[in-house]
Every structure is written in structure tokens, then in C-alpha cells.
Amino acid sequence: MLRVAAAQFSHETNRFSAVPTDLAAFEASGLAFEEAILALARGTNAAFGGFLAGAEAHGLDLVPILSVWATPSGVVTRDAMETLLGWLRDGLGRARAGGALDGVLLALHGAMVAETVDDAEGAILAMVRTEVGPETPIVATLDLHANISEVMVRHADVLIGYDTYPHVDMAERAHEACGVLARLARREIWPTAALRKPPMLPTSQRMTTDRDPMRALLAHAHRLEAAPRVINVTVAGGFPPADVPDAGFSVLVTTNNDSDLAARLADDLAAGAWERRAEFLGGVSSFADASTALRALPEAPDGGPLLVVDIGDNPWTGGPGDSAELVRFLLAEGVDGAAVALIKDPEAVQAALATNGKPVRLSLGGKTDWLHGPPLDVLGEVRFSSDGRYVNEGPMMAGLPVDLGPSVVLRCRRPDDTEMRGPLVDVLVTSRAETPIDLNVFRAHDIEPTQRRVIGLKGKGHFRAAFEPIARDVILVEGPGITGADLSRLPFRNIRRPIWPLDPL
């Protein structure tokens, strides 16, 4: 049986975030070592769940080392990067001391930036390569929003990107990685890779893979992947706010000992992406359009809720999650009975809990920085409180636990509504920021989303997996913030230039 080490080390870094990603941020999102990983991961639709299933299917003796990720936020601190790299290095040392390793599986993101290095995944892969030597195969999975670099390609034998956004194939791609690693370890294949990076910096609101242009590009990739000498074809849309030279669209083709074929196929697919670049633009409505849609809603929730999604403060793109703009909009529009997830505001949570259920005036959100709008004064009362913990039903990240910290559902009115007769909006106020991707974010807090006329979310695309099937319609709006579609808002300093759509090309 092949003996294979496995680790997850993942973060999507928004360089414009005012919230640094320290070791506590990784610990809060999830940190597990060695055998403890197995109990948490088995049966989940996540990377380690796929590693476990793939190891059983392909005859691998899996040696788990480390599983850690953090909610997207600012640059990873020096201490966090050095500590986690050290834990990974030490874990590899212990694994090798227990017997020869036939390979290493890694679950990475591809858009991590640290104080010490712009290409954090390149540094991780380089360290692992140094530890295990040039002959030990390394296979890593990457997020569809990875900013793939030549350093990453050089130090890994094969990189395998997700094929879906929302990412519902994390376990499937990890399972695939196990199969590729088994073939590598048995010397059945000899990878040759070609990376192409057309000068494109698309944002993700139109990067969902069940719609064009990504649907067509991935269909093309899968046709190429069916060729006998092709090991993998990865199409990565990239993550602009990482603000690194490698930010942007990537095509990576890995063949079996045929570098010319890899180059030819990568050139072909990259040219196709460039030709369709304009299709990545748009997809965002104005608040005026959202207002029109709200006025047209029937009184009954039959047909599902209207989803109004603010992409300007998306926690899974690195937003702080404390913008109150969506609630401000819904109250101003006189929308009654909407439910919103979420606003991160631990101060407001504690103030609300101290009222013992009585109405209280609160300043909600807007506390992290000035980029996501000012606080919103509301008259609120606690409708429900919890520890903020639930388990995702899926399809995305099914089976994984979520911890929002102490949380309340705050029934909010305008502060001048002293007679308690005006419109109200139920707002999930949390102690930690997460993007709401699962219906259980509401159901765990005594809100049935299918029975609401209007649901407000913060997101970009991941929400679609669970929420779009129940929705009457979806409207994306862009409030103030660092995670939206308008890249001209961001003061880029490190991306390669010229690059579309910031520059005329």
C-alpha cells in the first residue's frame, strides 16, 4: 500500500482588507492535526473528505498532518505563516520518520498572500519539495479562484483546480488527486505542464460555472481532458484583490510526457478565454433596479423569496462582513418581514443580549473601517439568540460545521419608529464574519427562508448552490466595499499591467 501524507493549508487573501489574518483567525475557522482530522472530515464534501474517500479507492495509506483554513481577510501575518509552515514541516518530518513516503497530497487555495511572500502557495510547495525531495510526487488541489504561478507549477507534479463555482466539487477533485498521485507513485505517468495567463483580471460575479462564459470554457477543458495523453486541464478565474503579479485568469494543462501537446492545448484554451472576456462583465443591478423588483413582489411568499445580494461586503472575498447597507436599503424601501444574513458586530450582539428582550436603540455595523458604509442606527429587539453553531446541509461544504460565535436575530426598525408600526427586517448579527452559503444559516436561527418574501445576503456566487433553487429571482447589488465587481475602486499596486479590464487591450 502506498504511504501518502496529506495536509490542507488554505486562505484567500484580500490585500485591501483592514483585518490582518493572524494565527487566531486560522484557529477560529478550523485547525486540526493528524488523527483528529479524520473524524472531522469523513463523509464531508470538502477536501479532506475527498482525500479519505480517494485513499480508500486507490489503495493509499493516508497519513494526515494538518488541516487549517481561515475565512478570507487581509494579509497573513509573518507569525501565522511561519508557525503554520513550521507545523507542516514538523508533521512531514514525523510522517517520514514513521516510514518512507510515496507521495504528498495538499489542499491549497492558490490566492494566499503573506507578509513574508506574495506567492504563499509557491512557498508552501517549495518547502514541501525541499522536505521530501525531487522524486516524491506532490499533487495539490486549488480553488477555481487561484492565482496560479510558475513557482507553484514548478514545485508540484500536478495541480488540480476545482471545476465548479459554487465549489461543490471539493471532495471530487481531492478524490481525483488521489488517483493521479497513485499513478505517479507507480510510475505510470510523467507529468509535463504548460501554464498560460492571458492578461485578464475578471471578477467573479459572472464566473459561476453553470453559466457562460465559464460553462463553455470548462466544457472545452473537459473535451481536452478526455484525450489519452492529458492528465488534467485546470481553468482558474483568479482572485483580483490579492493584488499580486500572478493575479488573474490561468489555464494549466498537464499531459503525460508531452510538453508540446500541453503547450498547444493551453494556448488554444487561453485564446478561447481571451475571446470571451467581455462576457465576464456585468451581472450587477443598481439599487434602483432592486427597488423596482421589490415593489413588484406579491404579498405572499409563493414562488420563493426574492434574493437581494450585496457583493460589496462579501466575507468570502475578504470583506469584514459588517456593512449595514443592505439593511439600510431594505428599511428605506419599506420592506416588511425580510431576513438578512449577516452583519458581523460582536458589540451589538452583546448590547442586544443585555436588554433581556426589550427594544433598544443600537448602532449596527460599520465598525471595521470607513470603506463599507457608516453604522446604521436601528430600533431593535432580540427575536432569537444562539451560539452561532450549525452544520452545513449542502450541497457546498455539506457536513462541515460553522461557528459564527454568539449571535442574535435582531428585529430591526427605523429608530424613529417609536410606535412600532413601521416595516421591520430580521437581521442575523454575529460575532464572526462568514458568507451565508447554506440554508441552515437561517434555519439554525429560527428563520425559514422559503417563507420570506425577501432574503438579503452577502455574497458573490457561492450562495447560489443552496439559495437559488428556492428563489423567485436573484438580484446582485454593489454596496460600498472592497469585494465588488468595480475594480476601479481598488488601489492596485502589484498586479501586472496592462491588464483587462483595467487597461484598454
Instruction: Evaluate whether 179 touches 58 at the Cβ level (below 8 Å).
Output: yes
Residue count of the chain: 505
What pLDDT, in 10s, does the model give residues 28-39? 988 999 999 998
Query: What is the per-residue DSSP string for 68-81?
Result: EE--SBSPBPHHHH
pLDDT at 221 over 90: yes
Reported confidence tier of residue 303, pLDDT bands at 50, 70, 90 = confident
Cell of 340: 438578512
415 vs 428: CA distance, rounded Å: 18
Cell of 372: 463599507
Peptide linkage before 395 cis (omega within 30 of 0): yes
Q: Which residue type sits at 165? A: Y
DSSP 305: P
Give the least confident one: 18-22, 49-53, 174-178, 298-302: 298-302
CB atoms near residue 326 (< 10 Å):
30
Helix (H, G, I), strand (E, B) or coil at 423: coil
Instruction: Evaluate whether 255 touches 230 at the Cβ level (below 8 Å).
Output: yes
Mean pLDDT for 233-256 is 98
What pLDDT, in 10s, does the model give residues 40-89? 999 999 999 999 999 999 999 999 999 999 999 999 999 999 999 999 99
Mean pLDDT for 121-149 is 98
412 vs 173: CA distance, rounded Å: 43
Q: Tell me phi and psi for residue 53, to 5 degrees.
A: -65, -40
Helix (H, G, I), strand (E, B) or coil at 427: strand
Reported confidence tier of residue 242, pLDDT bands at 50, 70, 90 = very high
What pLDDT, in 10s, does the model give residues 362-393? 999 999 998 999 999 999 999 999 999 999 99
pTM value surpassing 0.85: yes
pLDDT at 419 over 80: no
